[in-house]
Structure 1
Amino acid sequence: MNERSSHQRAMLAVAVAVVAVSSSAPLIAFAAAPALAIAFWRNALATVALTPFAYGSSRSSSRTRLFAVLAGLALAAHFSTWMPSVQLGSVATSAALVATQPVWQGVIAAFQGRRPPPAGWIGIGLAVAGAAWATGADVGVSGQAVLADVLALSGGMFAAVYTALGERARTEMSTVAYTWICYGTCAVLLAGVCLLAGLPLGGYDNRTWLAILALVVGAQLLGHSMFSYALHRISATTVSVVALIEVPGAALLAWVWLGQQPRPAALPGVALLLAGVAVFLLGGRRASRPRDLRA
């Protein structure tokens, strides 16, 4: 009963996280600041907010702490690729392409000796075809749009690495301890990148600071932190699948709030991509169901 209750709490955490992260891409597009600077502030402020709770919250091995640091590096790479893609292209396409994360999660699992079932490989093929379609539709728009697509795909890859490393770290660490180390590592790395690139970390208008604060409270503390909490009870692949709901949520917000109507030529590719990810997830879930029942 306790196990069932813990699983239900983890699924509730994922639901809250999905709602929170759906606002991420529209807020990034809305903010008048460099994407990497926004990424720095959302991680730095989240680290500060977690510091009083992180002190003495968990005792873990140096190996587990190393996984948390590596997850922070992967998270920095994710933000450094995906967040600029939102400002360079459309919110809808960027959110869809970064949603290929479960596919890359499956590739990582295959390298770990957990090969996807046949349905999983079919899903991977559909997702790749959809990504190629959506990207090809942007070729006729501009080189900037294509660059945005490539960055979003890279962001999905790094997100898979981040989630896989986080899954390893969360075997011993509490949510607060893990996220504090992960966000802190990410913030330090992004601060260095911003300083080297000469990107301003201040001087923004009030609406940009409000957008950054909304990102910290919503996407970062409620979004990523709730995903991290769920990894203690739910697999990284399952978390990645449920997170797909972010795609239509972000597209709808961008359309209503920012007036960004999705490009019609890219919509079939986006639909094919999401269908591929869904097939991949459902196929993997069916294949793992007997093992889950025994557990």
Structure 2
Amino acid sequence: MNWVVVVVALCGVSSSGPLMAATAAPAPAIAFWRNASSAAVLVPLAGSRCREELRALSARGWRLAVVAGATLALHFAAWVGSLKLTSVAAATALMSTQLVWVLLIDRIRGVASPVQAVLGSTLAVVGVLVVSGFDFQVSTEALLGDALAVASGFFAALYLLAGGAVRTELTTTAYTAVCYAVCALVLLAGALAHGDPLVGFSGRDWLLIAAVTVFAQFLGHSLFNHLLAVTSPMVVALLLLLEVPFAALLAAVFLGEAAPGGVYAGLALILVGLAVVVTRRRVEPSVARAPLPE
């Protein structure tokens, strides 16, 4: 695994929370424009460079690509909404429950997880509960934000699993082009149906949306999509747990957002759980790549 790519990708996705929390534009608009802008760049590129592989993509591959795009849209809708209601640290930590969802979905599919993976995930869940418990004492609005963050983690897990399956047939450019285009269309339909404005924002907000697109979308999500081709969704979900301290640090520096001490205790537990899994777990290709149902 290329650890330089991992570090750059983590810095990219970690900028998402602080940047979107600082943006006054509505959550659906932020989510739509970051994906629509990315698709506008990648679709023509994929059309010229990846035409043959897109034509050769199986019907199952197309279905999985559409599922990945749709679940990514649901992830963004819940994730950006949570950032408007709770702290960046809490929202990021609870969104990281995607690791637990990946384990649970694998279990339902009959894929066994090593004891070390279960132990590390349990420690991470305890950390998440600590973060959520402290946030619960703040306000009922924050509790709703926490619930949305957990939902975003569930949809992120589905997105990782579907993406991991379809990445066996598509290159990063082709996959991200299809995925982001589907995601943007789903978000557009949702915004129009709900009556959410997509234009009319300040110049500062447009700059922040552009920054989210460049850093979080291209340097974050797209690089993690690349990693799905060389490692399992489980490992990617584990790596994404590192977004928690990265995002908390960025929020403290750029937003002046200081979380209570209990929140940092929860973040520490999440990192300990990550360390247990990463240093002990052994991923078997046959297990990590178990096929999704048709």
Give the TM-score, by structure 2 length: 0.90
Counterpart residue type for residue 52 of structure 1: P
Shift of 1:239: 1.6
Shift of 1:15: 2.4
Q: 1:176 aligns with which of 173, 181, 188?
A: 173
Contact 1:102 1:277 in 2 (8 A): no
Matches within 5 A, 1:107-186: 107-186=104-183
Q: 1:19 aligns with which of 6, 11, 23?
A: 11
Give the share of equivalent positions with the same residue, in percent: 44
What do you get for the CA RMSD once the two structures are aligned?
2.0
Give the gaps of 5 or more residues in structure 1: 1-6
Aligned equivalents of 1:194, 1:211: Cα separation in 2: 20
- Deviations along 1:151-172, whole A, 9 cap, x unmatched? 1111111111101100011001
Aligned equivalents of 1:131, 1:118: Cα separation in 2: 20
User: SS where residue 286 of structure 1 aligns?
Assistant: coil
Give the TM-score, by structure 1 length: 0.89
Shift of 1:289: 9.4
Cα gap change, 1:169 to 1:258, in 2 (>3 Å) = same
Give the gaps of 5 or more residues in structure 2: 289-294
Q: 2:258 aligns with which of 249, 257, 261?
A: 261
- Deviations along 1:113-151, whole A, 9 cap, x unmatched? 221122222233323322222222122210011111111
Shift of 1:281: 4.4
Instruction: Show the counterpart of 2:103.
Output: 106
Contact 1:50 1:176 in 2 (8 A): yes
Contact 2:43 2:178 in 1 (8 A): no
1:272 matched to 2:277? The reply is no
Instruction: Show the counterpart of 1:286.
Output: 282
Shift of 1:185: 0.8
Q: 1:45 aligns with which of 37, 60, 78?
A: 37
- Deviations along 1:232-287, whole A, 9 cap, x unmatched? 1111111222222221111111111111011223332332233334434444x236
Contact 2:43 2:181 in 1 (8 A): no
1:77 matched to 2:59? The reply is no
